[in-house]
Amino acid sequence: MYTIADIEKITDGKLLLCNNSETIIEHLLIDSRKLLFPASTLFFSLPGPRRQGSAFVKELYSKGVRNFIVDDSFIFSAGDFEAANIIAVENSLQALQQITAQHRSQFQFPVVGITGSNGKTIVKEWLYQLLQQDHYIVRSPKSYNSQIGVPLSVWQINAQHTLGIIEAGISMPGEMEKLEKVIRPGIGIFTNIGEAHSEGFENIAEKINEKVKFFANSGIVIYCKDEVPVDEAMLLLQKKNNSILFTWGEDAAATLCISSIQIQPFNTVIKAVYKEKKISISIPFTNDAAVKNAITCWCVLLHLQVDVELIQERMLQLKPVEMRLELKQGINNCSVINDSYSADITSLSIALDFLQQQQQHPKRSVIISDILQSGKTNTALYRQVADILQQKKINRLIGVGTEIVKYSDAFSGIPETSFFNSTAEFLQKFPAMHFYNESILLKGARLFEFEQISHLLEEKIHQTVLEINLNAVTHNLNTYQQLLNPGVKLMAMVKAFSYGSGGFEIANLLQFHQVDYLAVAYADEGVELRKAGITLPIMVMNAEEVTYDVLVQHNLEPELFSFGILTTFEDYLMRNGIQYYPVHIKLDTGMRRLGFEQIDISALCKRLQTTSVFKIQSVFSHLAASDDALHDVFTNVQAKAFSEGCEQIQKITGYTFIRHLANTSAIHRHTNMQFDMIRLGIGLYGVDADIAIQQQLKNVTTLKTTISQIKNIKAGESIGYSRKGVATKDSVIATVRIGYADGYPRLLSNGIGKMWLNNSLVPVIGNVCMDMTMLDITGVDAQEGDEVIVFGAALPVSELASWAQSIPYEILTGISQRVKRVYFEE
């Protein structure tokens, strides 16, 4: 527990306002949308890509928060915060790290610190699986390994814990020393070195040297000796601080010398020599990454002197690590959020935040198991869980496990509850549970096997799915926000089912991240968003007279692009006695599609001057070729015409309105054209024509299918309709579950298209069929049921579009609705 006075001292801050210096701080908050316990929360006003954290101080104060860390630049009126404690510091992020570093210093139990390019989270979770029977473990939730994530991870530590497992990730020089001070790992792990997150470093050597700083005070460091650059850096570290180096690898000098790795159909046997004795383990995985991660964990267990036979037993029981939270369509118009692989307070809060984003259903339900190894008494634990669920306004709770049943009275504040001693008991009662039109979160410890519940709740889906990475959408949104001029608003394009990625699911995320506007093509798209709980302003780009009633009913704002639609909508508003209805005026500055032309603007101004039924929210136009330097002269002509048109309209109306012209490419190619707002389209979904920008974006959509059958055919045999595919040699052909009815273009027939199978690019052979496509997988090790990537990170949608003589827009929006969408957050 820390008082405000303690916090002021730790951060070397200045107490600008002090209502009560003895106020106890229990919770740290960096995101105003994730507030749970106002009275005991300390809010850090961190700078963001568009908004400063200080902009949310007043809002949080109105919600009951009384304790704030702000930067020195924070300006306020004392009368607005009479009951607050406000501490000013030079850097609020540094203050967060200072407080949690002080917290870490209060505990003397071993802390395992993990860094490296890949495998950090897997190693952390496997160590938890392997050691949880022996220790009360505190570990990083999900992938909380950043400058902010690490402090929040360390803040979880309490006196009941006996072991910590914390991961640390960096993206640029100067970051690791800060994380080392917060974690202070006694046992260090360097998983490997690779290209991941290398953008901020000049070369691999600089990256290794930065990561090695993590082990400045570690008593022992575990790493692979076969990675020579890492080994050399570690030997230099050893000379400085006398760390013990526990190495593994094929090198005879390694502490754990690997003598053989035997990959079998369903497991891998790893043999080694340790302290001159032959030892071995078997793991239920066969891929190279899993083998390396398991060996790293083996080293930790050997260092901790876990019995060799016990290690063998536990290694064989390792489970896959599900590092993502998935949103799927459920039975009876439900949405199912599956996070059924871990259960602890922190990950529960993260999952509930995601549940709260879902606005498509009026009812929110949580199915949760016993929470194991919390470090709290069960009375305190389940009271806290109940408080969190009530704060998140959960309508229905289903508790599974003997412990949560004992404390069922703690949940009396939740409208609807039911409890079961086991998953089997719940499954037996499932038919009578009646799940309908609700968002359901599954949150269970692994041993409760909630995947059985998930299978019952999820709608049975076609094995071809489009996965949408919501973390990537957020990353791409932030990437473009950082390119905006100060004060520029952002309109996100969610037309055409959000470019094929889903309607309300993407809109929910954008609303959570507080974009300023959404835009859809037709009124029915906007109506669906409103029904799903989207409250952001929505512009409708193709309003039709027959939709005026639903436009007004659902507060949708039409684009007026001609005198015809202006007249019919004006008549409709006058008949219904509606004044100052929000509309958007479209100018045609060269696209030659929709909009008032330059010669129309004088007449348009006269019409606008004589009516009071419209309130112009924005005036905008569409650039024809903002991505192409060959047409920059034309783009500048468009911008000039747009500015002149806006000036004329503003002069007549006498009030200001939002001006927007820039689309995705213009955001960075023509920054002078950002005006008051930009329209972010396909860039949000991970596609940009500019190579430099494209490298900063993350892949959002992955279309994947599976192999339904594999055949061996002889040279000269034909494949598919019209016998268009002919084997030139003895070949292996795989039929996959996707065709042109799913949106896979028939133009990709006969070797033009390719798919990604087990790290190999394999060509289409024969004609693409309605529901199936054949691939020539000769020479590729594959089995029926294997996953096949149609497009994704390994095979960009832009490349597939090029093969199909098309553009990414057409491919993404053409994915059939029978292809189920699966949304996930990592």
Residue 684's alpha-carbon distances to 49, 250, 499, in angstroms, are 16, 45, 10
Contact 99, 10 (CB under 8 A): yes
Q: How many CB atoms lie within 10 A of CB 516?
A: 17
Catalytic residue among 495, 586, 704, 754: 495
342: left (phi over 0), alpha (psi -120 to 50) or beta: beta
Residue identified by tokens 């015809």 is 564
Q: Where are the beta strands (DSSP E) in 567-642?
A: 581-587, 614-621
Rounded Cα distance between 763 and 785, Å, is 18
Beta carbons within 8 Å of 720's beta carbon, 6+ residues apart: 765, 766, 767, 769, 774
Structure tokens at 781: 């090790």
Secondary structure (DSSP) of 705-749: EEEEEEEEE-TT-EESGGG-EE-SSSEEEEEES--GGGT--GGGT
Please, where are the H alpha helices in 255-304? 288-303
Give CA angle at 547 (546, 548), nearest 5°: 100
744 is catalytic: no
> What amino acid occupies position 697?
L
Rounded Cα distance between 370 and 401, Å, is 5
Catalytic residue among 640, 711, 721, 729: 721
Contact 774, 725 (CB under 8 A): yes
3-state SS assignment for residue 497: helix
Rounded Cα distance between 448 and 532, Å, is 32
Contact 6, 87 (CB under 8 A): no
Phi/psi at 229 (5° precision): -60, -35
Secondary structure (DSSP) of 57-83: HHHHHHTT--EEEEETT----GGGGTT
Q: Where are the beta strands (DSSP E) in 663-819?
A: 677-680, 701-713, 718-719, 725-726, 731-736, 754-757, 760-763, 773-776, 787-791
3-state SS assignment for residue 135: coil
721 is catalytic: yes
Radius of gyration of the chain (CA): 29
Which are the catalytic amino acids? Answer: 495, 721
